[in-house]
Amino acid sequence: MRISIASGKGGTGKTLVATNLALSISDQPVHLLDCDVEEPNAHVFLQGDHIDQQVVHLPIPKVNQAKCQQCSKCSDVCVFNAIALFDKIILTFDDLCHSCGACWHLCPHNAIEKIDKEIGAIDKTKVDNITLITGKLKIGNHASPPLIKKVKGQCNDGGINILDGPPGSSCPAMEAVEGTDYCVMVTEPTPFGLNDLRLAVDMVTALGVPCGVVINRDGPGNVGVLDYCREKGIKLLMQIPMDDRIAKSYAKGTPLVKEEPAYRDKFNQLYQVILGEV
């Protein structure tokens, strides 16, 4: 089973939920996949034995100027403007390239070959019954969805997979959530939290993924979130209170279920509720 953890905005507590949920499942192996490749942080809370690192590449075009006849076919088919004809010279712009392959497949003179461009890496760490898969986007690169897709390729189809997604509701978040069996939406009881929760729910609805809501830093002001969940028929999965002890535990990099053992049962109950929803 694949459980994605998402939110409409950053800082709501996705990693808090993802790591503690993973630590509370003890009856079978768990793969925790940190898909927030621009700023992964699950490894701060789950430190174990490093197993492997895999460098991830994307194909990009390289033009052989000697073969090129300046016909502009490649620039005409590139919808991302990553390749262009300037004064009888074809120029490529790697940062705009989406690796669709149209230019090298359609060049009538075979003047374009594909070369590998490093976009990041995937680290694998073992922590008890948890395998932590961490995607790390290379500094200066922006192509996070392809790297997220590679991270998702490390899912264990025979066990439980928890995907800690990036914030927001744009392409990276959609890539992380797409194809999962259930999405846990983490929000906070603020106007910003409610506004971005609406956007995130619209996203998972469009993807056809069932979802429920966890309210983090719960306290006064959550009426709007609760009303919205009732209005949309979204299940309220868990409420994590505004508590200094939780904040201190998180600041130290200590998982909540280890600092406050009573939360292990609460997160295990969350897991059981999710099983009942799928």
Tens-place pLDDT, residues 146-192 = 999 999 999 998 899 999 999 999 999 999 999 999 999 999 998 89
**pLDDT at position 120, please?**
97
| Total count of domains within the chain | 2
In DSSP notation, 13-50 reads SHHHHHHHHHHT--SS-EEEEE--TTS--HHHH---EE
Q: Give domain status of residue 270, yes or no.
A: yes
- Tell me, yes or no, whether 180 and 258 share the same domain: yes
Residues 6+ positions from 259 with CB-CB distance below 8 Å = 245, 248, 249, 252
The CATH number linked to 20 is 3.40.50.300
- 29 and 82: one domain? no
The boundaries of the domain holding residue 73 are 65-110
pTM, entire model = 0.92
- Here the tokens at position 31 are 């793969």
pLDDT at 55 over 90: yes
Same domain? For 81 and 48 the reply is: no
Same domain? For 172 and 210 the reply is yes
Are 143 and 179 part of one and the same domain?
Answer: yes
Q: Give yes or no: residues 135 and 234 share one domain.
A: yes
Q: How confident is the model at residue 220 (pLDDT cuts 50, 70, 90)?
A: confident
